[in-house]
Structure 1
Amino acid sequence: MDDRYPQLTLKPIEFERHVRSMLDAMGNSILEYRSEHREVIQGVDGEYEIDVSARFHYLGMEFLILVECKHYKNPVKRETLQALYDKMRSVGAQKCALFTTSGFQSGALRYAEIHKIATVKVVDGRSTYFTKAFGAQLIEPPPWANIPPVSGWLIDGSHFSIVSEEHGEFLERYLFTDI
């Protein structure tokens, strides 16, 4: 993951909408897929406003995925993932994911790995452009590379997989098929 590019300058609501569009691009092939922005969902212990929720049918059952978007300056702590996991259990969702602009503390990543929570660092899309001459010098992608303005990195242990509207196969498998 290349941190040489500047921090994203999206407003929190724009950030949430980009995350929703990434999920929507992956959900097109799923039966009866739909997503909501800032849906209020009833749990066993109260209501929760969820940044992005996605529902779909698979094998004759309905599934719910909760996505929280954290527009932070500091890395996400384990407690933030614990709160999301608790919401997931309260509302009866099957999966959850946390997208952030800041990265994750190591304890947060360990917790996410144990509890199968998708963790995605959203970045300036230019950071996904690599060349054979990859090094310390920042290389601006050429216009023909068609780099999206916003992308993300799915962090799964020590593996990183790109996430965008065009490249979401790893997150799609993580959220929609590994049920």
Structure 2
Amino acid sequence: MKPGKSLEKDVQRIYSFLLNMRDEGVTVGNSVFIVGKSGLQHEVDVYYEFARAGVRHRVAIECKDWAGGISKGQVLEFESKLRDIGNITGVIVSRNGYQSGADKYAKFHEILPLVFDDLPSFNNLLAERLKTVALPGDDYIGEPFWIIMEIRNGKVTGSHYANKDPISGKDLIPLTYSKYHAERLFRDAGLDPTRWAVRGLPRFALRAFLITLELYEKKMNGGALICFLPPGSKPDAQFIGIHASREDLTNEYFGEPIPSIEDVKK
């Protein structure tokens, strides 16, 4: 792999993953060639675009995997490329920072200067993405599951309620097929309604949950537990709980492949 290509691939994978958390269908390209207003062809290390409310958004990302910091002249070169392309947002990702004044110069020209090692961890990036596009609201219907989530100032935080399994010792996140059953679990657990709330998981939110469940299974000794009661059960009947792996939930309830976080982080 050519020098710098590793950084480009890392940036491409992360942006592709985060931009498509809700199946937006955003394509993130590597080494994309764009013809500018001058008629000249420019190569962009990482490029993506999408449309919202009839507005086309285009982003060009310059990746610099060099031993030293980026100079003001190199920022100027990128700014000139962006100006020729037109109507595009610029981002620079540097492995080893910027020389004096280079980052200030980039900001002046509305180019976002980032340092790869200073980026939030992948887990934090994932959490921020979930907050903006994938966390269920109080009016969402489960497809097919309902879940208990932490709330703060009336909004879900992305954390899920879990119970420790006395046999395996794992923290298991309960999933139910009905809001009624989720509310009963909520009451049985004596949860504080100012800190927790029942939420339905529509398809896009189920996808996001399954992505985070991979981290939960691999890093936090956790998992998911499907809880249900047969129809007509007595009010004091005990829930039946069945452990459900991310793989099984993906195959049997989501029905389509979901990218692995490990693939993105390679």
Shorter-chain TM-score: what band?
Answer: 0.5 to 0.7
Letter in 2 for 1:34: T
> Quick check: 18-27 or 40-49, which moved more?
18-27
What is the alpha-carbon distance in structure 2 between the residues aligned to residue 79 and residue 60 of structure 1? 35
SS of 1:167's equivalent in the other structure is helix
- Kindly report which structure 2 residues correspond to 1:32-47, keeping only aligned pairs within 5 A, or say none: 32-45=25-38, 46-47=40-41
What is the alpha-carbon distance in structure 2 between the residues aligned to residue 92 and residue 54 of structure 1? 15
Alignment partner, residue 51 of structure 2: 57
Larger Rg: 2
Relative CO higher for 1 or 2, CA cutoff 8 Å, sep ≥ 6?
1
What is the alpha-carbon distance in structure 2 between the residues aligned to residue 56 and residue 163 of structure 1? 25
Shift of residue 166, structure 1, vs aligned partner: 4.8
Shift of residue 164, structure 1, vs aligned partner: 3.6
Q: Taking structure 1 as reference, are residues 97 and 68 closer, same or farther at Cα in structure 2, changes over 3 Å only?
A: same
> What TM-score do you get using the length of structure 1 for normalisation?
0.62
What is the alpha-carbon distance in structure 2 between the residues aligned to residue 98 and residue 117 of structure 1? 7
RMSD of equivalent CA atoms: 2.5
SS of 2:83's equivalent in the other structure is helix
Point out where structure 1 has 5 or more consecutive residues left out of the alignment: 1-9, 124-151, 154-161, 174-179
What is the alpha-carbon distance in structure 2 between the residues aligned to residue 66 and residue 120 of structure 1? 13
Q: Taking structure 1 as reference, are residues 44 and 104 closer, same or farther at Cα in structure 2, changes over 3 Å only?
A: same
Tell me, yes or no, if the aligned pair for 2:32 and 2:47 is still in contact at 8 Å. Answer: yes
Aligned-residue sequence identity (percent) comes to 21
Shift of residue 78, structure 1, vs aligned partner: 1.0
> What TM-score do you get using the length of structure 2 for normalisation?
0.43
Cα offsets for 1:111-166 (capped at 9, x unmatched): 1221221111122xxxxxxxxxxxxxxxxxxxxxxxxxxxx43xxxxxxxx26475
Point out where structure 2 has 5 or more consecutive residues left out of the alignment: 133-266
Is 2:60 the counterpart of 1:102? no
Alignment partner, residue 73 of structure 1: 67
Tell me, yes or no, if the aligned pair for 2:94 and 2:115 is still in contact at 8 Å. Answer: yes
